[in-house]
Structures are given as C-alpha cells and as structure tokens.
Amino acid sequence: MSSGAAKKAVLQGLLDAGRLERVPASAALAARLVGEARSHLRAADKVLDLDPAGSLHLAYDAARKAAGALLAAQGLRATTPGGHVAVQEAARACSPAFAAFTLLRRRRHDSEYPRPDTPTVTRADAVEALERASEMVASAGMLLDGGRLREFR
C-alpha cells in the first residue's frame, strides 16, 4: 500500500490514535538512521555463523531504523504506546518493501522472549532476516535519496 491517499490514511490514523506523533522533519536524522541500518546489516553478516540469533536481531534493528528514517523524513515518530508496531504499519504504508517487517518483528520477539517450545534461531533464519532487512534498508535509501518523502501534512 504505497498510493498517496492510502499512505496518508494510514499515517493519519496512527496520529489520531496517538501511536505516532509529529516532530520536526529531519533529513539529517533520516540519513543517520539509514547509515546506522547499513552498519547493522554489515555487522549482522559478520556474526551470521557465530551468533545466528544476534544476526537476526541486528537485521531486525536495521529494518526498524530504516523504517524510523522514513518517519523522521516526514516529521513523524512512534510514541511509546505505538512502539514497533506503529513503525511497522507506517513503513508498510510508505513502501511495499516493508511487508516482511511483521515477520522480522515477530521472529525477533520470539527469539528475545522465548517459550520452552520456541525453536532456536538457525543460520537459515538469520540469512532470511538479513535478506529481507537488506531490501527494506535499500528501499528506504532510495526513497530518501530520491527526495520522495515530504513532511507529512
């Protein structure tokens, strides 16, 4: 869902529900967050064999920071009640590349707060997370570099 009207409806709904708040739009903060996301991807790749769960967590954090960059460029930020779910919904409204964000968020959550029957994160899980997060970070970078995100009004 990246049409202008659909995106606006999602973002306005998150604002109205108090899950997002308005802040000054900042291209510099957006660029910083994408830079940090790219660093997380490189780090996730380096620990892939040593620590698959850590790699998955870094991949998720890369995707989350890329999503936060999209918000920062538009003068938006998640509130405490909105949290990662609000970031997820807002990012999906901005770019279809963020469709996999929900899956990454859930996998990271299950790994961070496992039940006795929660499977251990495998290298294959981490590779998939890294691939999906890389797509999200690339999409955020293209949207920001292309100047396609304006302050949300």
Instruction: Indicate which CATH number applies to the domain containing 25.
Output: 1.20.120.330
Enclosing domain of residue 75: 4-145
Q: What pLDDT is stored for residue 96 in this prediction? A: 92
Residue 42 covered by a domain: yes
The enclosing H or E element of 22 equals strand 20-22
Residues 6+ apart with CB under 8 A from 26: 72, 73, 75
Residue 1 pLDDT greater than 70, yes or no: no
Q: How far apart are CA 145 and CA 30, in angstroms?
A: 10
4-20 pLDDT tens trace: 888 999 999 999 999 99
Residue 150 covered by a domain: no
The enclosing H or E element of 36 equals helix 27-46
Residue 81 covered by a domain: yes
41-79 pLDDT tens trace: 999 999 999 999 999 999 999 999 999 999 999 999 999
**Number of structural domains in the chain:** 1
Residue 153 covered by a domain: no
